[in-house]
Amino acid sequence: MERNRLFWASRRGMLELDLVLQPFLDDIYPTLETADQERYHKLLECEDQDMFGWFLRRETPEDPDLKKIVQIIRDSRSRPG
């Protein structure tokens, strides 16, 4: 997926998700292996409410691919600045 489309797909209906996904897209996504980038594309097809629960650690996705990319995003948020 081209960068501009990824940017707009990463903009969600919830500010809380934008605050997670936009920095991830800018800082981490370019360093991911192709398989993990494809997992991110799959994540963007998910519902906002599901992602919100996953990033707040209230739930974990059942799908192994989604589980992996959610964990990568969670880990990137806990790294020091």
Residue 70: what pLDDT?
A: 98
Tokens of residue 38, six digits: 């494809």
For residue 81, pLDDT beyond 60:
no
Tell me phi and psi for residue 40, to 5 degrees: -65, -40
Coil, strand, or helix at residue 35?
Answer: helix
Residue 35: what pLDDT?
A: 98
Coil, strand, or helix at residue 12?
Answer: coil
Single pTM value for the model? 0.91
Residue 3: what pLDDT?
A: 85
Kind and range of the H or E run holding 32: none
Residues 23-35 pLDDT 10s: 999 999 999 999 9
Residues 1-52 pLDDT 10s: 788 899 999 999 899 999 999 999 999 999 999 999 999 999 999 999 999 9
The domain limits of the chain are 3-77
Long-range pairs of 9-12 with CB within 8 A, sequence gap ≥ 24: 9/41, 9/44, 10/44, 12/48, 12/51
CA distance 32 to 12: 21
CATH class of 3-77: mainly alpha
